Structure 1
Amino acid sequence: MPATTPISDARAWGRAAGAATLAAFVVTLVVAAFVWPAATTTPHDLPVAVTGPAAAVDGVTATLADSAPGRFDLTTVADRDAAVEAIRQRDVYGAVVLGADPEVLTASAASGPSHQAMTRLADELGTALAAQSGAATPAPSVTVTDVAGLSADDPQGIGMTATAFPLVIGGIAGGVVIALLVTGRARRLASLGLYAVLAGASTTAVLQGWFAILQGSALENAAAIGLAFLATSALLVGLSSVLGRAGIGVGALLTLLVANPIASAAQPPEFLPGAWGEIGQLFVPGAAVSLLRSLSYFPDADLAQPLLVLSAWAVVGIALTLVGRRGDAARDAAAPAEEQSPAYAAA
């Protein structure tokens, strides 16, 4: 047995140091990706409706511009009913109703942080009204009304927030399994479709039938989850068809380390710095969470954007699967003979 030379031994130690450095870098990247959204979360331009006498509206607008610059994006609406409708359509996160009986409307189902921001706004409004009224006249109390509350089975919204990560992992898992075990374009596409249907139905059975986290139509929720799984898994399969196994890593990293941290599952997109919140809604995790939240608690909301985003990613993945040379006709033709071999059967 040949002795180990100093050069080869040095190379082995170099590889060991390089592997440790790479692993440390990956861990740092993962920690930064997941902690950054929570560490930098703060509301900016949070859409809020306001209604009431013109003078009162102008006064509140000026007060918030001084006390909370950039925190709220106020939109004037006709009356309280219009404010409620805007909340239910997810155009705003809450509303301020001014008059003899001031009221702050909120929607805890939209997210915990936005609900807390509206509650703090009610406190600030009460303080401002007290300062305006003076000591001789008691200020009217500000009522807080939740017009889109969470389910009694998920009163804190923790379950809805927790659904985001399983959707990400489920999409990645489906894509990895199909990319590694299924050969041939037609079989890969059929497997993707079947996975989306089965995984969507089973996940809905757990989230809605078992834990009652999701609300609304179980069929619609299953279709939404299935589309989310299809979008992610098809992307991984498509990238693997084009790039080989390296494509699986690219798709997984894109979904897990880029898209998932900015999905705004725990807070509104307006709580992320800059345009990252809006960018996050253009990826599968953000669109999927937004779609499920609307289906469960905001039936009047416009579903066009999340549906379009999920469909677009699914189409991209399917297109890559069709054109990728890693799944070309030669491999398709070789697959049946391979699958009939004793080695394949044993595996």
Structure 2
Amino acid sequence: MAVQAQPVTDASPSPWTAVARAVALLTAVVSVLLTAFAWPSVRSSMHDVPIAVAGPAPAVRQLSVALDERLPDAFDITEVADTATAEQLIRNRDVYGAIDVSSGAPQVILASAGSAAVAQTLNGIATALSQAQSQGVSSPSGVRDLVPLPADDPRGAGLAAAALPLVMGGLLAAFLLTRLVLGATRRVVGALAFAVTGGLAVGGILQFWLGSLTGSYWANTGAVALTIAATSLSILGLEALLGSAGLGLGAAIMMLLGNPLSGTATAPEMLPGWSGTLGQLLPPGASGGLLRSTAFFDGHGATHSVIVLATWLTLGILLCLAGGMLRRRPAADRVTTTGQPAQATV
């Protein structure tokens, strides 16, 4: 006669050391999250922000020295001879703005679409110059926004807010595809298809509903699609090679490094130390720069961002294919040793 075992109703409580480990882990996680998201904002400042100063050489040199004394190391100044050259540098995204002294009274030329934060700083300089000029015989300085933000989103809030959803979209795509789709090739195709549909949807919302983007809808859609593809495929590739640990590593790279260091809300040059440069080498940072170029600057200044995103996309595809080959090899070994066919998906 079989005796049925009684189910265990009272499990032994965990040891206090397990509680201590859990608390320590949670403390470390929240500290890392706070550091990742708060440190770039708290330590944000102007350093080596590229601007132009236009006008006669003596006046340009005098103003450059005055700016360096007032805001040490804040600007990387390009000295040009005339207003047209300064405006061309702004439109090409070589500089964020310019101070023009070619007509006598200084005029500040902005490109708020390039960075609202830098434009605000240059506005402050214009106010200081105006106050100084008003005490002399020259007329006060003026401000001209050469490349303004859209009237429907004058603070650029939509573009800044889009950075996190794009990262989350790529991460969610990688997570769902690894859970719902078998085969490296099918996952790559799924990620690329989602990049297209997601680009169409996000580009349409930002441009036609929120009014946060101008320019060519198709160029903006392409920028969003390239971002989603680069993010999702790079994480898929890490998962194909490292398993679940790859998903975690990819999420950490995109969420804890890429998003806070993207500089989309301010400017990469305003982030502390080396973080702005690092952020532009990751998909979230490259995405912000590319969207600004396609939406407001007719594609000027997009080359670096396209190269970065294309590199991540290509790397992701190669990792996916390499991971698929590694997974098929054990299946082939089992066929050799057991003589039984093993199914492998591609």
> TM-score w.r.t. structure 2 length?
0.89
Question: In 1, Cα distance between the equivalents of 2:231 and 2:315?
Answer: 10
Question: In 2, Cα distance between the equivalents of 1:153 and 1:334?
Answer: 55
Question: AA paired with 1:100?
Answer: G
Structure 2 SS opposite 1:324? helix
CA contact (8 A) 2:233 2:316 kept: yes
Question: In 2, Cα distance between the equivalents of 1:177 and 1:35?
Answer: 30
Aligned to 1:246: 245
Question: AA paired with 2:153?
Answer: D
Question: AA paired with 2:107?
Answer: E
CA contact (8 A) 1:47 1:75 kept: yes
CA contact (8 A) 1:183 1:335 kept: no
Residue 3 to residue 195, structure 1, CA distance change in 2 (3 Å): closer
Q: Which of the residues 81, 84, 89 maps onto 2:84?
A: 81
Question: In 2, Cα distance between the equivalents of 1:326 and 1:14?
Answer: 42
Structure 1 SS opposite 2:144? strand
Q: Which of the residues 57, 64, 69 maps onto 1:66?
A: 69
Give CA-to-partner distance per residue, 1:274-294, whole Å, 9 cap, x none. Answer: 121111101000000110111
Residue 321 to residue 206, structure 1, CA distance change in 2 (3 Å): same
CA contact (8 A) 2:133 2:141 kept: no
Structure 2 SS opposite 1:21? helix
CA contact (8 A) 1:241 1:326 kept: no
Structure 2 SS opposite 1:105? strand
Aligned to 1:210: 209
1:176 aligns with 2:179: no
Aligned to 1:334: 343
Give CA-to-partner distance per residue, 1:42-68, whole Å, 9 cap, x none. Answer: 101111101112221121112112221
How far apart are 1:144 and its partner, in Å?
0.5
1:290 aligns with 2:294: no
Which aligned pairs between 1:42-61 and structure 2 lie closer than 5 A? 42-61=45-64
1:236 aligns with 2:240: no
Give CA-to-partner distance per residue, 1:73-123, whole Å, 9 cap, x none. Answer: 111112111111111111111111113332110111112210111111112
Question: In 1, Cα distance between the equivalents of 2:257 and 2:201?
Answer: 27
How far apart are 1:325 and its partner, in Å?
5.2
Question: AA paired with 1:149?
Answer: P
Question: In 1, Cα distance between the equivalents of 2:308 and 2:44?
Answer: 24
Question: AA paired with 2:273?
Answer: G
CA contact (8 A) 1:153 1:212 kept: yes
Give CA-to-partner distance per residue, 1:104-162, whole Å, 9 cap, x none. Answer: 1011111221011111111232344456x4xxxx3320000000001111111111111
1:90 aligns with 2:93: yes
Question: In 2, Cα distance between the equivalents of 1:181 and 1:335?
Answer: 16
Question: In 1, Cα distance between the equivalents of 2:192 and 2:73?
Answer: 45
Percent identity between matched residues is: 38
Question: In 2, Cα distance between the equivalents of 1:49 and 1:300?
Answer: 21
Question: AA paired with 2:319?
Answer: L
Question: In 2, Cα distance between the equivalents of 1:191 and 1:238?
Answer: 13
Question: AA paired with 2:267?
Answer: P
How far apart are 1:300 and its partner, in Å?
5.2
Aligned to 1:148: 147
Give CA-to-partner distance per residue, 1:140-193, whole Å, 9 cap, x none. Answer: 200000000011111111111111111111111111111222111221121112
Structure 1 SS opposite 2:229? helix
Give RMSD over aligned pairs.
2.1
CA contact (8 A) 1:126 1:139 kept: no
Q: Which runs of 5+ in 2 are unaligned?
A: 1-5, 333-341
Q: Which of the residues 10, 17, 20 maps onto 1:17?
A: 20
Structure 1 SS opposite 2:94? coil
Question: In 1, Cα distance between the equivalents of 2:112 and 2:143?
Answer: 11
Question: In 1, Cα distance between the equivalents of 2:326 and 2:154?
Answer: 47
Residue 19 to residue 222, structure 1, CA distance change in 2 (3 Å): same
Question: AA paired with 2:343?
Answer: A
Residue 210 to residue 326, structure 1, CA distance change in 2 (3 Å): farther
Q: Which runs of 5+ in 1 are unaligned?
A: 337-347
Aligned to 1:342: none
Which aligned pairs between 1:132-143 and structure 2 lie closer than 5 A? 133=136, 138-143=137-142
Aligned to 1:107: 111
How far apart are 1:212 and its partner, in Å?
2.1
